[in-house]
Amino acid sequence: MRITIIGAGFAGSVLATELARIAPTGVDLCLVGNADGFGRGVAYGEARPEHLLNVRAREMGATADQPAEFARWLNLTRRAEDSFLPRLVYGEYLYSRLQSAAQVSLAGFSQVQQEAVAVEREGDAFRVLLADGADFLTDRVVLAGGAAAAAGAGGGPGGGGASARGCWWTRPTSPGRGRRTCAARTRWRGYRRRPGCW
Ligand SMILES: Cc1cc2nc3c(=O)[nH]c(=O)nc-3n(C[C@H](O)[C@H](O)[C@H](O)COP(=O)(O)OP(=O)(O)OC[C@H]3O[C@@H](n4cnc5c(N)ncnc54)[C@H](O)[C@@H]3O)c2cc1C
């Protein structure tokens, strides 16, 4: 099984981290993202040092079941846990946990710092085309391009039918946070729409 996540921001890198932790041998994971802010995203990769998180450190764990993980990663005192830390630091936390998971993963795990310019249906698989002209096949695609891409896509929570086609859309800031959203009826900026895909 080949799984490709397009977009290496918050959603893409956290999903890649979780999959790297649980995927068995034989699974090939690929995280594709723009070089700017790879593994960190727009909010946490491109900020200035004085730009702070709007949530206290003790609640900023990347996954809901581990809210204190970020504070623990920094070894913060109780008092410091209650502060609002730089967004850049949070980006380093996301990147660090991604790399840690990649190192111990049983699955194959490649990280590609390129823009994806198209996803095309090819039989039961998908061909992902990159800005540098390279391309590769994958069985599943997760689109995690962030709010700007999602705003242009028009997809919303509750869509159905995409699992059979293998395209999934992540949109962590939407009211349906955590739910997978059908990509079958969306248009994603930068992606060519092809019959049989979306
Ligand atoms: C300025 C700002 C500050 C914020 N501060 C906070 C905060 O303090 N606390 C908080 O909880 N939330 C905050 N947020 C919200 C936070 O950004 C989101 O919750 C979350 O980071 C969104 O994750 P995402 O993966 O959907 O998007 P992003 O993190 O933006 O990641 C999307 C990534 O996909 C890449 N991408 C897009 N298209 C392609 C393509 N075709 N090929 C390859 N890569 C592509 C983009 O370059 C980007 O790196 C903030 C948001 C912004 C904009």
Number of domains into which the chain is organized: 1
Nearest alpha carbon, ligand 1 atom 53: 43
- The four Cα atoms 142, 148, 149, 151 give a dihedral, to 10 degrees, of 110
Residue 196 falls inside a structural domain: no
The per-residue pLDDT for 55 is: 97
Q: What is the pLDDT of residues 64-89, one digit of tens each?
A: 999 999 999 999 999 999 999 999 99
Asked, for residue 192, whether it belongs to a domain, the answer is no
**Contact by Cβ (8 Å): 182, 171:** no
Residue 170 lies inside a defined structural domain of this protein: yes
Q: Does residue 188 register a pLDDT over 70?
A: no
Residue from 36, 42, 55, 130 to probe ligand 1 pocket by mutation (most atoms less than 8 Å from CB): 42
Beta bridge partners of 31: 5, 111
Q: Quick one: pLDDT band at residue 138, thresholds 50, 70, 90?
A: very high
**Residues 161-167: what's their mean pLDDT?**
41
- Which of the pair, 100 or 162, is modelled with greater confidence? 100
74: in domain: no
- Residue 80 in domain: no
Residue of higher predicted confidence among 158 and 65: 65
What CATH number does residue 131 fall under? Answer: 3.50.50.60
Residue 196 CA, ligand 1 centroid: distance in Å: 28
Expressed as residue numbers, the domain containing 174 is 2-41+93-182
Is residue 158 a part of any domain in this protein? yes
Ligand 1 centroid distance, CA of 142 (Å): 15
| CA of residue 112 to ligand 1 center, whole Å | 18
Q: What are φ and ψ of residue 61, in 5° steps?
A: -55, 140
**Among 133, 139, 115, 116, residue whose Cα is nearest residue 29:** 139
Whether residue 145 is contained in a domain is answered as yes
Q: Is 64 part of a structural domain of the chain?
A: no
Q: What is the mean pLDDT of the segment spanning 124-135?
A: 97
**Average pLDDT, rounded, for the chain:** 82
Q: How far apart are the C-alpha atoms of 179 and 160, rounded to whole Å?
A: 12
- At which residue do the structure tokens 């310019």 appear? 117
Instruction: Copy the structure tokens of residue 123.
Output: 């039989």
pLDDT at position 142 is: 97
Report CA-CA distances (Å) from 152 to 7, 92, 105, 187: 15, 28, 34, 7
Residue 41 Cβ inside 6 Å of ligand 1? The answer reads yes
The band of 151, judged by pLDDT with boundaries at 50, 70 and 90, is low
Asked if residue 176 has pLDDT above 50, the reply is no
Average pLDDT of the segment spanning 152-170: 41
pTM of the model as a whole: 0.82
